[in-house]
Structure 1
Amino acid sequence: MFNLSDGVKKALILIPTEPLPANTRVALRRKHLAALELAKAHRANFLIIGHPKSGNTWLKVMISRLYQLRYDLPESKLINTDEFPRKIPEIPRLAATNGYYSYEGEVGKLLASGAADNPLRHKSVLFLARNPIDIAVSWYHQFTKRQSRAKQELINYFIDHPIDRHSISMWDFVRHSDIGLPSLIEYQNTWARNVRDLEHGMLAKYEQLRSEPVPTLHKITQLMGENFSEDEVRA
């Protein structure tokens, strides 16, 4: 039986649906990507929730470095849901999601404050918060210049007022768009409440991870159930 990576599974959803009409393409992608996202979350031992441009990838690089040093793994490998655990079962599975936009919101629904009891609510969950003003500027550049067409299309179908990345100004994006500053503030507040109500939930700030990287990362690894020493974290 083939054991496909999550990246291959995602490609097998995106590529065959590309020629379809937009409405059909988005509906099918949302359905099947949501199923993949939920499967990744359920398999994971540790969940990272964070809005795009909140430092999620940076945190994964820092966590990856700990396992690279402990298990003598290549520096080029970044910890994903199944990247390391497929080779070394002792390494916990990690999943990162924004828990809000399009198909990723299916994970968010299960972790929302007041949601019915389910297995995800008993996992270790970190919300990586960041000043929404700082997110907004980076998010503008990400969405208008670097976001994949597939992801942008899914988000545009998710919001009430689709965004034309070729014409929108930074000011209009940040102040008036459906994914601008007001939405970012609500997102941060909502997820702060969500993790507060979880059995093993924790909020860490991007700014704190930058100013106090060793103690902050050490707390995060403890939430993961790991026993990295301060010296390992400092390395």
Structure 2
Amino acid sequence: MDTDALLCSHPRSGGRWLRYLLAHYLAAHHRLGIEVTPQTVFAVVPDHVQEGPRGCRAYRFGGRRGLPLAAVCHQPYSWELHRGAPLAFLARNAYDVVVSAYVYYTHEKPEYTGSMGDFIRHPRLGLATWMEYMNSWAPTLLTHRDAMLLSYGELDADPGAALVRVLEFLDHPADPALVQATVLRASEMRSARGIRTGQEGNFWDHLQPDEIFEIQEQLDRGLSTHAVHLLHSMGVEVDPFPRGMS
């Protein structure tokens, strides 16, 4: 299925929250007659895959005039999967991503029982996958002619403004009153259903100094120059604990 744009982010970076905001707004604006929930959201904003209950086959509103099809993608960049697509890219700092992933894999989808320190070094669940993801995307995003860059910090500070940016990228009208109502409704739904999100910089409350240094060292060794430049251009923190601080 052809899409109008891809919403790309690494897992635990705010993509679920952004998907809900966009789906709520589009459902209300186009009077789709659907209550957007964690189960039905994929009917409005599906995953960028063909198969499965979350994929493009779950999309229910093809042919609706003026309704954009934006699909969510968490895959590392590949030419075959992403070539030519308009890209809205959401990024979050590695420290908060690690904390969110640790909570997810120890509580929401429990499959890990080790320490935070070991989790940071885990080859599949830990920091390595985030670095590989950012390294794969950075060269393309720095030169892409049709890309929008959004930080988790922007989304966290003003979800309404972040939603407007995405709507404008999709060439879709952004009604201020409906944006405000959407943020309120989606926030109520998120709270009622216990959907966890963390504030920007939340990692300071969950990581010990040695764990912050561990992440910092891995980023220094593993992030490409392109990735560092991309994150800095987006205002995403790479080094929150500068060397020389006691």
Same structural fold, with TM-score higher than 0.5 when normalized by the shorter chain: yes
Amino acid at match of 1:44: T
Selected match of 2:143 from 175, 197, 208: 197
Deviation at 1:169, TM superposition (A): 2.6
1:109 — aligned with what?
Answer: 78
Counterpart CA distance in 2 for 1:109 and 1:87 is 28
Q: 2:91 aligns with which of 129, 140, 148?
A: 129
The total of aligned residue pairs comes to 164
Superposition CA RMSD, Å? 2.7
Q: Is the 8 A contact 2:4 2:69 kept in 1?
A: yes
Name the amino acid aligned to 2:16. Answer: T
Which of residues 92, 108, 125 in structure 1 aligns to 2:68?
A: 92
Alignment deviations for residues 115-161 of structure 1 (CA, whole Å, 9 cap, x no partner):
xxx7943322111101111111221233455459xxxxxxxxxxxxx
Work out whether residues 121 and 199 of structure 1, in 8 Å CA contact, stay in contact via their aligned partners in 2: no
Amino acid at match of 1:46: A
Superposition deviation, residue 220 in structure 1 = 1.2
- 1:212 shift after superposition: 2.2
Tell me which residue corresponds to 1:59.
18
For normalisation by structure 1, the TM-score amounts to 0.60
Query: 1-side partners of 2:62 and 2:104: how far apart?
Result: 31
Residue 199 of structure 1: how far off its partner (Å): 2.1
Instruction: Select which of 30, 34, 49 maps to 1:74.
Output: 34
Q: Secondary structure at the match of 2:83?
A: helix
Structure 1 Cα separation of the partners of residues 123 and 82 of structure 2: 31
TM-score (norm 2): 0.57
Determine the structure 2 residue equivalent to 1:233.
179
Contact 1:56 1:128 in 2 (8 A): yes
| Shift in Å, 1:95 | 1.4
Residue identity opposite 1:109 in structure 2: S
Identity %: 26
8 Å Cα contact 2:30/2:67 also seen in 1: no
Query: What is the CA-CA distance between 1:201 and the residue it aligns to?
Result: 0.9
Distance 1:179 1:98, change over 3 A: same
Match of 1:139 among 101, 107, 132: 101
Of residues 208, 214, 223 in structure 1, which corresponds to 2:169? 223
| 1:181 partnered with 2:127 | yes
Letter of the aligned partner of 1:223 in structure 2? Answer: F
Q: 1:209 aligns with which of 131, 147, 155?
A: 155
Distance in 1 (alpha carbons) for counterparts of 2:81 and 2:130: 27
- For the residues of structure 1 that align with 2:103 and 2:144, how far apart are their CA atoms? 33
The SS at the match of 1:122 is coil
Distance 1:192 1:231 in 2: 35
One-letter amino acid of the structure 1 residue matched with residue 8 of structure 2: I
Q: 1:11 aligns to what?
A: none
